[in-house]
Amino acid sequence: MKIAVIQGSPRGAQSNTRRLTEDIRARFPEHEFVEIQPGARIITMEKDPDAFGAAVAAVEQAEAVLWSFPVYVLLVPSQLKRFVELIHERGAARAFQGKYATTLTTSANFYDHTAHNYMRGVSEDLGMAYVEGFSPSFWDLGQEAQRENLLGFAREFFHEAGLRLPQARASGQPGIRLSAARRGRSTQDGRGPHPGVARRALARGERGPHGRGFPAV
């Protein structure tokens, strides 16, 4: 599967969030990743139609989109927000339509949900199927358990995008149906949280039943 990784950090190659996407790329060599850098190149994309057109073409040729960025002031970096505006201003929304999307952020886990909700709205406005994202704390990026959670998030996204499983929209209305996994149940025995639910709860610092932490997946 070909994934367009849209990097929203103005730090470019020095971005902590980009390092996470590089970990994913290294772990899943069976997938092809193409990187788009509106965070570091937004001024060029604004002034040079060819530069913006190349970014849109890369998305058009991909099957899925990974929005990757740090959370700034409770939302996305302004450079990424401007890229979203350019998509609509220049009539490029069709390139995104029908693709699967998710969000990967780094933050202090303070109001990162507002950035994820924003990107979910952006994705759904573009006609994309949105899979719930992942937001590790930047304090925990070096921990092995958090790395396993990152890879579990990527594995789940590739699985759902590859099978084109139906996703619920933000309104709560499913496109066709919700799988047992997406309702938070185990896909094997119907008991316990789905690994994706456990992973995201762990990233938020929540605890499992009886006060125990959710297992890393």
Q: What are the pLDDT digits (tens) for 41-84?
A: 999 999 999 999 999 999 999 999 999 999 998 899 999 999 99
Q: Which amino acid is at 124?
A: E
Q: pLDDT at residue 172 above 90?
A: no
**Domain boundaries of the chain, sorted by first residue:** 2-172
Q: How far apart are CA 116 and CA 109, in angstroms?
A: 11
Q: Encode burial over 200-214: b for 16+ CB neighbours within 10 A, e otherwise.
A: bebbeeeeeeeeeeb
- pTM equals 0.78
Torsion of CA 123, 126, 128, 132, to 10 degrees: 10
Mean pLDDT of the chain: 82
Please state which CATH number belongs to domain 2-172.
3.40.50.360
